[in-house]
């Protein structure tokens, strides 16, 4: 068929066949368009549209999809072979259906994309992000930096466009642009926040303005810090990937490694590839267009040499445009490959064909491995879990093939046969923990829908089954081995709930923590695993596409550093609830409830691999996150969840002098919970610069801090904590002294930093005072290790809040500068610096630490506020433990709650709220986050600056 | 011309050294395959592990033999590597030498290049010592 398609518009096309993929069109989306007759032989049959309004937790974009039953006899994967480069050949098949976003913007003027005209440097540094001023393309590409920059290898050169093709263009009018910002939620506020900044254009870019840190008292801006916008021309900027998904520590890539070494800044990427997106173009097409040599997916930054050829932006190979790609399902026109959604959006998702499968897509399989020893019963988590599971059983992502299973363990392992047809769940006990076996070949993992009643019976019975247990031992290792055996035919997700140190069988651990060493300033030991058992188990699991998620609910030391290995290398996630108790610690219990709700219902991808590609000359150096690295640029992820973040260190291997732009592309191939193979592709484009000043101007301080934190975790495990701390301080000293040497003409009275890096010392100080890296303050080893695990696996936004919490004064909320979200007015109180000097006794302050909110109430706090918001007559009557704000019918209460809800909605795991009175003992918890203040063991911010300055002048 | 114990040591060392050279070449190939994506680190590291202990023990055997034969110069040349092997053996992750090449970290660019360099250096060392043993063997056979 493919050969006969040489000509567009030929009338000899076969009638369109019915598509294998039927996409339901959901309400609110444009109705499916009728295929234009005779225009193109392979017609898009069903045009589904990703629904913009879908709640992010919802597993899938589609209500209906292919139900691939072929997986009834799944074969285990050979771990070596599951690669997205499964099939080299990508010939067009016979059937094709295209599902594309209706909201893909199509700029009217493509010429604007072509040139390399940099917008004015001055306005670009901190100016508002692209999507918002979409409608007006940069009228005149102003003052390019140099002639060299003009010569761009990228962009859409379209010299030979035939007039006939142009007429069909009919770009959706400007109205489509209005939809564009939806793709980047949160950018609305971003631009308004930055709008003010870009006004003050000085002779040099704002981000390069030298700041004397020792004299400038308030470096922290009043509004949240947003990602710097790469110095690209407006059209490329508009097309670029959202900084929420993809960020680089340097938004201007230095030309050579030598220049990078001179700048002394870390170069790397921060990724959040599987983020919940409100709008995502989903493309169903038989031909996924990729570069023939480097396998890059076609993206907005490729250049079309002429009608039928495109040049890869990563390896510069010239490729043919496949016939199918010439047809644009969006505009229903032929001959405009540059207007396809793949070329219009830097974040797209492809429905992959069978070329991308090594076995039929696996069903969603969930196994729960539960500790039921005496300790666990005492903590009482089981009731919370079972209740939560019962509530969310229908919301577990999956299709009709979804399977679920349960195992419990103490000194023996208990299996539950839930085969439909039984009247009661059957409990099977295996006491031979030295040689674990599965007591029955089937019935342990059952279909969720067929055995629903039995599962409900079991979940109702489980919390009471072991209440009188006297068994104190925990055979976690053997239970995990059994779980691995159970899961290995299919792969899936294992959720382990553990409440103590494993004490029996393989993988048993001893207590290694010396409580007297908790506040030691010298050496912190035992940050690495005690045994390789969990590492090896994770490797085996990863090979069988099984991820292990660990919930550690423990009041004593449980050697998280060893246990965490099972999740870290199998791409799982780790949750830790220190001193969990269902009645004595209600806030932890509430947190577990909320976390479980999110955990059980969030989107999940199975048998995933992620490949990161970058322009020739750059190379991946080290990866950070939870995964197994399978080759130099391929991460094997048994599961992928929307809350997982990754970091990559980069190095510049060859000089980038012959290019002015570099691109990074991550491709995440996964099986959705509905059994579809999908590929999510993000592409980021950044300019290359040749001068140190430009490198400094483009530095993204938050990304740099997150990357440094990841590197410091590695360093503290492989070397020592004090080494890692030194390295962090050196990072500041080196980068600021590198900057100092470039501005030597200025007076050297203080500590100079470019505006882009003005927060660098503050953030590093915050990092040094973070649980993971602090010394001198009493820190439990498990807490420390958990903080390190979080640093490794959290995406940037959440990590930043953990490192440097946001402090707001909330007793005088006004509508000034408020934003409107879903008809609600959300006040935006300014950020305060994290110092006790800001805490006036007359005020009330909210501290947002990511997973915890603290509301600090001053002693002389306005009694109106206490009455209107907290619902108590005066300060004295506020209880010591308060974790909720009452719903009062006052303006102040409404404002406070709407602000809190808005903050809560912005993160996946709902945080716990603590109301802290000025005198209560809990205030220490709050005060330890005030990083600018001096503690017995650590510098204040000013002292730290002086220390850095001293180091520089040495 | 006499067949002394020293001569015997050198002859045996010569044969074993050939084996070590093959081990080193094997390592180089293995890490190169890893770098060029031909193999999965799990598959790759298992056979590499299998070779670690034999290599270390063969080399220790040399040293013991040269000690017995009182070949101080040769012993002196081998002692640094012996110590390196000991260090490597006891500095491995928790469970001993089979994770000397940990598949979890071997893909880290630093680790990989370190492993490659190590393998190249060892190859050079074994090659040089091969000819050195050959020379010593002949001279031991001839001199006495």
Regarding the domain with residue range A365-513+526-602, which homologous superfamily does it belong to in the CATH classification?
A: von Willebrand factor, type A domain (3.40.50.410)
Q: What is the pLDDT of residues A249-292, one digit of tens each?
A: 999 999 999 999 999 999 999 999 999 888 889 988 888 889 99
Task: Summarize the confidence of residues A780-807 as an average pLDDT.
Answer: 92
Task: Summarize the confidence of residues A726-746 as an average pLDDT.
Answer: 85
A79 with B42: Cβ contact below 8 A: yes
Work out the pLDDT band at A342, boundaries 50, 70, 90: confident
Q: What is the pLDDT of residues A203-231, one digit of tens each?
A: 567 777 888 888 887 888 888 888 888 88
Work out the pLDDT band at A177, boundaries 50, 70, 90: very low
B37 with A634: Cβ contact below 8 A: yes
Token pair, residue A891, equals 């303006």
A498 pLDDT more than 90: yes
Cα separation of A384 and A459, whole Å? 11
A630 with B43: Cβ contact below 8 A: no
Token pair, residue A46, equals 């069903």
B47 touches chain A (CB under 8 A): no
Interface contacts A/B by beta carbons within 8 Å: 57
* Closest residue in B to A531 (Cα–Cα): B94
A620 touches chain B (CB under 8 A): yes
> Do the Cβ atoms of A510 and A381 come closer than 8 Å?
no
Cα separation of A351 and A284, whole Å? 5
Helix (H) or strand (E) holding A689: strand A677-689
Q: Angle A269-A274-A276 (CA atoms, 0-180°, nearest 5)?
A: 120
Predicted pLDDT of residue A747: 57
Predicted pLDDT of residue A12: 40
Chain A partners within 8 Å of B42 (Cβ): 79-80, 539, 543
Average pLDDT, chain A: 77
Best of B102, B109, B110, B115 to substitute, by most chain A Cβ atoms within 10 angstroms, is B109
Chain A partners within 8 Å of B40 (Cβ): 79-80, 630-631
* Closest residue in A to B98 (Cα–Cα): A532
B40 touches chain A (CB under 8 A): yes
Where do we find the tokens 């947002």?
A848
> For chain B, how are helix, strand and coil distributed in percent, rounded to 5?
80, 0, 20
Predicted pLDDT of residue B43: 72
B108 touches chain A (CB under 8 A): yes
Q: CB burial class (10 A; 0-12, 13-18, 19+) of residue B117?
A: exposed
Q: Which of A14-18, A399-403, A409-413, A723-727 has the lowest mean pLDDT?
A: A14-18
Cα separation of A783 and A552, whole Å? 11
> Do the Cβ atoms of A448 and A412 come closer than 8 Å?
no
Token pair, residue A402, equals 């979804």
A532 touches chain B (CB under 8 A): yes
A183 pLDDT more than 50: no
A155: left (phi over 0), alpha (psi -120 to 50) or beta: left
Chain B partners within 8 Å of A541 (Cβ): none
Q: Which residues pair with A845 in a beta bridge?
A: A809, A856
B109 touches chain A (CB under 8 A): yes
Which range scores top for mean pLDDT: A14-23, A256-265, A582-591? A256-265
* Closest residue in B to A718 (Cα–Cα): B93
Predicted pLDDT of residue A499: 92
Q: Which of A180-189, A477-486, A569-578 has the lowest mean pLDDT?
A: A180-189
B92 touches chain A (CB under 8 A): no
Predicted pLDDT of residue A778: 82
Task: Summarize the confidence of residues A522-530 as an average pLDDT.
Answer: 81
The number of helix segments (H) and strand segments (E) in chain B equals 4, 0
Q: Angle A415-A420-A424 (CA atoms, 0-180°, nearest 5)?
A: 60
Chain A partners within 8 Å of B47 (Cβ): none
A532 with B95: Cβ contact below 8 A: yes
Cross-sheet strand order for the sheet of A852-857: A831-832, A806-809, A844-848, A852-857, A912-917
B91 to chain A, minimum CA–CA distance in Å?
11
Distant-in-sequence, close-in-space partners of B112: CB < 8 Å, separation ≥ 6: B31, B34, B35, B106
Best of A83, A526, A536 to substitute, by most chain B Cβ atoms within 10 angstroms, is A536
Q: Answer yes or no: pTM beyond 0.90.
A: no
Q: What is the pLDDT of residues A537-556, one digit of tens each?
A: 998 999 899 999 999 998 88
- Residue B113: C-alpha distances to residues A460, B25, B31, B107 (Å): 55, 15, 9, 9
Cα separation of A883 and A915, whole Å? 6
B39 with A632: Cβ contact below 8 A: no
Window 547-606 of A: residues touching B by CB (8 A cutoff) are 569
A539 touches chain B (CB under 8 A): yes
What residues does CATH 3.40.50.410 cover in chain A? 365-513+526-602
B29 to chain A, minimum CA–CA distance in Å?
15
A6 pLDDT more than 60: no
Percent over 70 (pLDDT), chain A: 78
* Closest residue in A to B35 (Cα–Cα): A632
Q: Angle A341-A343-A345 (CA atoms, 0-180°, nearest 5)?
A: 65
A543 with B37: Cβ contact below 8 A: no
**Residue A548: which of A597, A486, A473, A591 has the closest Cα?**
A486
Q: What is the pLDDT of residues A117-127, one digit of tens each?
A: 333 333 333 33
A373 CB-side CA count, 13 A: 23
Token pair, residue A521, equals 């300033």
B109 with A619: Cβ contact below 8 A: yes
A265 CB-side CA count, 13 A: 36
> Do the Cβ atoms of A767 and A709 come closer than 8 Å?
yes
> Do the Cβ atoms of A600 and A392 come closer than 8 Å?
yes
Where do we find the tokens 């604007």?
A112
A630 touches chain B (CB under 8 A): yes
Task: Summarize the confidence of residues A39-66 as an average pLDDT.
Answer: 37
Question: How is A308-319 classified by DSSP, letter by letter?
Answer: TEEE-TTT--EE
Q: CB burial class (10 A; 0-12, 13-18, 19+) of residue A307?
A: middle
Pairing assessment for the beta strands A365-371 and A347-351 based on DSSP bridges: unpaired
Cα separation of A645 and A245, whole Å? 9
A29 pLDDT more than 80: no
Helix (H) or strand (E) holding B46: helix B41-68
Predicted pLDDT of residue A685: 93
A768 pLDDT more than 70: yes
The number of helix segments (H) and strand segments (E) in chain A equals 27, 34
Cα separation of A263 and A699, whole Å? 10
Question: CATH: 3.40.50.300, 3.40.50.720, 3.40.20.10, 3.40.50.2300. Which one for A805-928?
Answer: 3.40.20.10
* Closest residue in A to B111 (Cα–Cα): A622
Specify the DSSP class assigned to residue A365: E
What residues does CATH 3.40.20.10 cover in chain A? 805-928
Task: Summarize the confidence of residues A134-139 as an average pLDDT.
Answer: 36
* Closest residue in B to A651 (Cα–Cα): B109
Closest by Cβ to B40, choosing from A532, A622, A630: A630
- Residue A413: C-alpha distances to residues A369, A443, A491, A540, A610 (Å): 10, 16, 21, 20, 35
Q: What is the pLDDT of residues A661-703, one digit of tens each?
A: 999 999 999 999 998 999 999 999 999 999 888 899 889 999 9
Pairing assessment for the beta strands A628-631 and A253-254 based on DSSP bridges: unpaired
Instruction: Compare A519 and B126 and report the one with higher pLDDT.
Output: B126
**Residue A566: which of A592, A599, A533 has the closest Cα?**
A533
A176 pLDDT more than 60: no
B34 with A631: Cβ contact below 8 A: yes
**What SS3 string covers A224-290?**
CCCCCCCCCCHHHHHHCCCCCCEEECECCEECCHHHHHHHCCCCEEEECCCCCCCCCCEEECCCCCE
B42 touches chain A (CB under 8 A): yes
* Closest residue in A to B100 (Cα–Cα): A532
Sign of CA dihedral A99, A102, A105, A106: positive
State which residues of chain B have pLDDT below 70: 1-2, 91-101, 144
What residues does CATH 2.60.40.1670 cover in chain A? 246-357+606-699
Chain A partners within 8 Å of B41 (Cβ): 629-631
B77 to chain A, minimum CA–CA distance in Å?
30
Question: CATH: 1.20.120.730, 3.30.465.10, 3.40.50.2300, 3.30.450.30. Which one for A208-227+700-804+931-953?
Answer: 1.20.120.730
Pairing assessment for the beta strands A677-689 and A347-351 based on DSSP bridges: antiparallel
Predicted pLDDT of residue B144: 59
B94 to chain A, minimum CA–CA distance in Å?
5
Question: CATH: 3.40.50.300, 2.60.40.1670, 3.30.390.30, 3.40.190.10. Which one for A246-357+606-699?
Answer: 2.60.40.1670
Instruction: Compare A558 and A143 and report the one with higher pLDDT.
Output: A558
What residues does CATH 1.20.120.730 cover in chain A? 208-227+700-804+931-953
B80 to chain A, minimum CA–CA distance in Å?
23
B40 with A79: Cβ contact below 8 A: yes
Q: What is the pLDDT of residues A77-118, one digit of tens each?
A: 333 334 444 433 333 333 333 333 333 333 333 333 333 333
B109 with A528: Cβ contact below 8 A: no
Helix (H) or strand (E) holding A526: none
Instruction: Compare B98 and A731 and report the one with higher pLDDT.
Output: A731
B46 touches chain A (CB under 8 A): no
Q: CB burial class (10 A; 0-12, 13-18, 19+) of residue A691?
A: middle
Best of B104, B109, B112, B115 to substitute, by most chain A Cβ atoms within 10 angstroms, is B104
């Amino acid at each position: 068929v493919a050969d006969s398609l040489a000509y567009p518009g030929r009338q000899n096309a076969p009638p369109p066949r019915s598509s294998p993929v039927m996409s339901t069109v959901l309400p609110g989306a444009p109705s499916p368009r009728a295929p234009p007759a005779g225009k193109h032989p392979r017609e898009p049959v069903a045009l589904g549209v990703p629904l913009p309004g879908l709640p992010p937790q919802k597993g899938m974009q589609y209500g209906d999809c292919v139900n691939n039953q072929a997986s009834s006899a799944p074969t285990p994967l050979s771990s070596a072979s599951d690669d997205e480069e499964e099939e080299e050949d990508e010939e067009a098949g016979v059937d094709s259906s295209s599902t594309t976003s209706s909201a893909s913007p199509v700029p009217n003027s493509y010429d604007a994309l072509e040139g390399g005209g940099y917008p004015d440097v001055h306005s670009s540094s901190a100016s508002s992000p692209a999507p918002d001023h979409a409608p007006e393309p940069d009228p005149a590409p102003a003052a390019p930096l140099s002639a060299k920059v003009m010569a761009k290898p990228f962009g859409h050169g379209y010299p030979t466009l035939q007039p006939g093709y142009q007429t069909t263009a009919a770009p959706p009018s400007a109205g489509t642009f209005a939809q564009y910002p939806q793709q980047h939620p949160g950018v609305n506020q971003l631009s308004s926040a930055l709008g003010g900044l870009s006004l003050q254009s000085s002779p040099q870019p704002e981000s390069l303005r030298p700041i004397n840190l020792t004299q400038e008292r308030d470096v922290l801006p009043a509004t949240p810090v947003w990602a710097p916008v790469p110095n690209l021309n407006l059209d490329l900027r508009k097309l670029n990937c959202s900084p929420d998904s993809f960020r680089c520590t340097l938004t201007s890539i230095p030309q050579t490694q030598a220049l990078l070494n001179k700048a002394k800044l870390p170069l790397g990427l921060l990724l959040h590839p599987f983020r919940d997106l409100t709008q995502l173009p989903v493309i169903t097409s038989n031909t996924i267009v990729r570069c023939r040599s480097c396998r890059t997916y076609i993206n907005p930054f490729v250049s079309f040499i002429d009608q039928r050829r495109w040049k890869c932006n990563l390896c510069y190979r010239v490729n043919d445009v496949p016939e199918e790609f010439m047809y644009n399902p969006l505009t229903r026109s032929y001959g405009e490959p540059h207007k396809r959604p793949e070329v219009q959006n830097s974040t797209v998702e492809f429905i992959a064909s069978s070329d991308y499968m090594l076995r039929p897509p696996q069903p969603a399989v969930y196994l729960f491995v539960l500790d039921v020893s005496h300790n666990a019963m005492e903590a009482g988590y089981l009731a919370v879990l079972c209740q939560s599971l019962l509530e969310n059983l229908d919301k577990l992502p999956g299709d009709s093939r979804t399977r679920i299973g349960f195992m419990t363990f103490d000194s023996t392992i208990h299996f539950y046969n839930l085969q439909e047809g039984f009247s009661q769940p059957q409990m099977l006990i295996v006491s031979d923990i030295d040689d674990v076996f599965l007591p029955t070949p089937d019935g342990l993992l059952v279909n969720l829908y067929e055995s629903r009643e039995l599962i409900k019976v079991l979940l109702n019975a489980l919390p009471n089954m072991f209440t009188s247990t006297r068994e104190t031992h925990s055979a976690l290792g053997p239970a995990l081995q059994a779980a691995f055996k159970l899961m290995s035919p299919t792969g899936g997700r294992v959720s382990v709930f553990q409440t103590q140190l494993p004490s029996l069988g393989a993988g048993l651990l001893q207590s290694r923590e010396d409580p007297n060493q908790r506040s030691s300033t010298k050496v912190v030991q035992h940050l690495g695993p005690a045994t390789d058992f969990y590492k090896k188990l994770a490797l085996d699991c990863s090979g069988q596409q099984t991820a292990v998620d660990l919930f550690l609910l423990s009041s004593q030391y449980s050697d998280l550093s060893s246990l965490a290995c099972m999740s870290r290398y199998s791409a799982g996630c780790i949750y830790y609830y220190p001193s969990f108790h269902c009645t004595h610690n209600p806030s932890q219990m509430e947190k577990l409830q909320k976390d479980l709700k999110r955990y059980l219902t969030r989107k999940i991808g199975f048998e995933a691999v992620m490949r990161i590609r970058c322009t020739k000359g750059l190379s991946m150096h080290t990866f950070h996150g939870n995964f197994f690295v399978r080759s130099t640029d391929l991460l094997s992820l048994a599961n992928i969840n929307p809350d997982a973040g990754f970091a990559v260190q980069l190095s510049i291997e060859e000089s980038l002098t012959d290019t002015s732009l570099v691109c990074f592309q991550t491709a995440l191939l996964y099986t959705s919970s509905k059994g579809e193979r999908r590929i999510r592709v993000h592409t980021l484009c950044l300019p290359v610069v040749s001068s140190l000043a430009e490198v400094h101007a483009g530095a993204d301080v938050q990304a740099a801090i997150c990357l440094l934190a990841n590197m410091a975790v590695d360093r503290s495990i492989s070397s020592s904590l004090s080494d890692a701390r030194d390295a962090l301080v050196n990072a500041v000293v080196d980068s600021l002294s590198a900057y100092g040497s470039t501005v030597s003409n200025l007076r050297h009275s203080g500590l100079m930093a470019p505006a882009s890096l003005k927060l660098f010392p503050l953030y590093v100080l915050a990092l040094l005072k973070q649980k993971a890296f602090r010394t001198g303050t009493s820190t439990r080893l498990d807490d420390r290790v958990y903080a390190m695990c979080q640093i490794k696996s959290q995406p940037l936004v959440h990590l930043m809040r953990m490192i440097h919490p946001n402090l707001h004064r909330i007793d005088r909320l006004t509508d000034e500068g408020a934003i409107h979200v879903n008809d609600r007015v959300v006040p935006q109180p300014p950020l305060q610096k994290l110092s006790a000097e800001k805490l006036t006794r007359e005020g009330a302050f909210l501290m947002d630490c990511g997973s915890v909110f603290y509301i600090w109430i001053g002693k002389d706090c306005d009694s109106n506020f206490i009455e209107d918001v907290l619902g108590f007559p005066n300060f004295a009557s506020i209880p010591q433990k308060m974790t909720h704000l009452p719903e009062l019918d006052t303006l102040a209460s409404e404002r406070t709650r709407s602000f809190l809800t808005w903050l809560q909605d912005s993160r996946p795991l709902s945080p716990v709220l603590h109301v802290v009175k000025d005198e209560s003992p809990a205030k220490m918890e709050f005060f330890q986050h005030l990083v600018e203040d001096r503690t017995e063991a650590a510098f204040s911010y000013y002292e730290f600056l002086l220390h850095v300055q001293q180091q520089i002048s040495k | 011309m006499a067949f002394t114990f020293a001569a015997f040591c050198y002859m045996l060392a010569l044969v074993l050294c050939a084996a070590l050279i093959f081990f080193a070449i094997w390592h180089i190939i293995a890490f190169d395959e890893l770098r060029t994506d031909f193999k999965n680190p799990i598959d790759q590291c298992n056979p590499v592990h299998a070779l670690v202990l034999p290599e270390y023990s063969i080399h220790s055997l040399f040293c013991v033999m040269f000690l017995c034969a009182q070949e101080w110069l040769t012993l002196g040349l081998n002692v640094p590597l012996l110590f390196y092997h000991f260090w490597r053996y006891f500095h491995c992750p928790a469970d001993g030498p089979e994770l000397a090449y940990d598949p979890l970290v071997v893909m880290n660019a630093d680790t990989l290049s370190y492993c490659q360099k190590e393998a190249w250096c060892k190859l050079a060392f074994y090659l040089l010592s091969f000819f050195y043993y050959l020379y010593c063997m002949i001279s031991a056979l001839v001199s006495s």
